[in-house]
Structure 1
């Protein structure tokens, strides 16, 4: 096990002394850990009206259907998205009955609602002065709301963005794994992910305890480095979480390199993982850009 269950308070630098400032953190820890390993920060959104169930129901009714994903919540840690059972309810019913319907739900890209967009922008404006020093070029900001029934499980998977998960209501146990360790996350798994072959993964029994474990409480937020595998277990109450995410230009480059490697592998090659050889990475990325421009010019 990398760390025991962490529920400690955050030794924080208060930054929410002005209206519209919601987050606080330990600056030294933030600068040392961002994009490298998980760490906790604090937030002041637990009593915000945007996360009342009735307001979330109103939000769900405004969002396009393809931006609301929900399914049964009583799941194994490792299961493919295709095998994940539905809960037999509508989105409205799932929200209204979330305390009892044993389900998991995410409302995606909620920044399309102007009020939630402003909240996302306020949160990211606070962290940007620090993140820009480490991973410059903040772009593609998105926000998500997760609603989960007691005891539900979010299966083992990876995500492509810089992410802070803000716990609003209830508690959840998050188990995060080192995405830089190829014995935990292989180059081929990353190739499959970046080629859109699915984000859910299979975790082996011998690796299951090789994780950081956090019991997230309301008022706490957890940083998820890009493509660090994780799975989540809800506690004995309804959980509501707010996820603020963004991307940076280096992530587009990373995606391109893994997609290129997948293509090389289909040709019978055994390419080195991105990051192994900078010159090779640069050559591959330039080739990708030329191919993309040519494809665009030819209308393919």
Structure 2
């Protein structure tokens, strides 16, 4: 029996045509595979306020997350480029008050594991997947787990100088900032001893050297663009004169886990007067240290047990 026009109209109302998948990242010059976890670079993307990343949307997201340190971090009051992560947390405002008044309270809020959120999670998981897809098999074979953090910060707020244990893609959604990224391979900038302390749990381990500021690659990061920050690349941020909403798309990597365990082992034996060789200098020493570390050390995991996304 042939369907009438009325029947077809009803069928279309009940079963709308599928919408083609939206591409979030473009990479016409092949920057993702060429510079993967080695060099910083800027790239365009298509996520923004229209996808729910507004002050109100971030406040709603924060209310849906567990109210524990594993999921939420915030800091109130002025800091400078040398500040430690614990600064601005002694007498802080509530999380919701901080977000509600973010335009005037000189604060930053970091919401973690947001790829699991029922509302914003789907687009964040797609972004996590597209980064890996753009970077190719080298990254697909390297990734252990991925995580999406949402960051909201006051006008002119500084994010202090630091390094990360993960490969990071800082993605600007609303507002703008100046991002300073330094060479991750320069051991005169971040010494092996600083890396040992960092990988052994001191997340303030990298020390800002103002005389080296001119060595930074400086990005004018605006909504619609992101920057890849390789593992261990020192960086700091100065927000523009507006509220900033951004993503920090992070990946724990097998290749970095190995180096991290060696650095942590080196830090422990340095306390007893040893002068350990750095990772990569001696293959047989690295092998022995990894074997010893697997027996003696519990390697800290900054993302904890909550990170679940895998490619």
Equivalent residue for 1:31, pick from 25, 28, 33? 33
Relative to structure 1, is the Cα distance of residues 180 and 83 closer, same or farther in structure 2, using a 3 angstrom cutoff?
same
CA distance in 2, matches of 1:78, 1:132: 36
CA distance in 1, matches of 2:233, 2:20: 33
Spell out, residue by residue over 1:156-193, the C-alpha distance to the aligned partner (whole angstroms, 9 max, x if none): 11111111111011110010111211111111111111
User: Where do residues 1-300 of structure 1 align in structure 2 (5 Å cutoff)?
Assistant: 18-65=20-67, 66=69, 67-84=71-88, 88-135=92-139, 136-199=141-204, 201-291=206-296
Runs of 5+ in structure 2 lacking a partner?
A: 1-18, 299-311
Relative to structure 1, is the Cα distance of residues 73 and 22 closer, same or farther in structure 2, using a 3 angstrom cutoff?
farther
Relative to structure 1, is the Cα distance of residues 243 and 177 closer, same or farther in structure 2, using a 3 angstrom cutoff?
same
Q: Contact 1:175/1:214 (CA < 8 Å) preserved in 2?
A: yes
Q: Which has the larger radius of gyration?
A: 2
Paired positions, count: 277
Secondary structure of residue in 2 paired with 1:209 = helix
1:26 shift after superposition: 3.5
1:199 shift after superposition: 3.0
Runs of 5+ in structure 1 lacking a partner?
A: 1-16, 294-300
1:205 shift after superposition: 2.3
Segment of structure 1 superposing worse, 58-67 or 81-90: 81-90
1:130 shift after superposition: 4.2
Spell out, residue by residue over 1:9-54, the C-alpha distance to the aligned partner (whole angstroms, 9 max, x if none): xxxxxxxx95242111234322221111100111101243320222
Segment of structure 1 superposing worse, 120-129 or 254-263: 120-129
Q: Contact 2:54/2:245 (CA < 8 Å) preserved in 1?
A: no
Secondary structure of residue in 2 paired with 1:48 = helix
Segment of structure 1 superposing worse, 193-202 or 220-229: 193-202
Q: Provide the alpha-carbon RMSD of the alignment.
A: 2.1
1:72 shift after superposition: 2.5
1:200 shift after superposition: 5.6
CA distance in 2, matches of 1:53, 1:87: 23
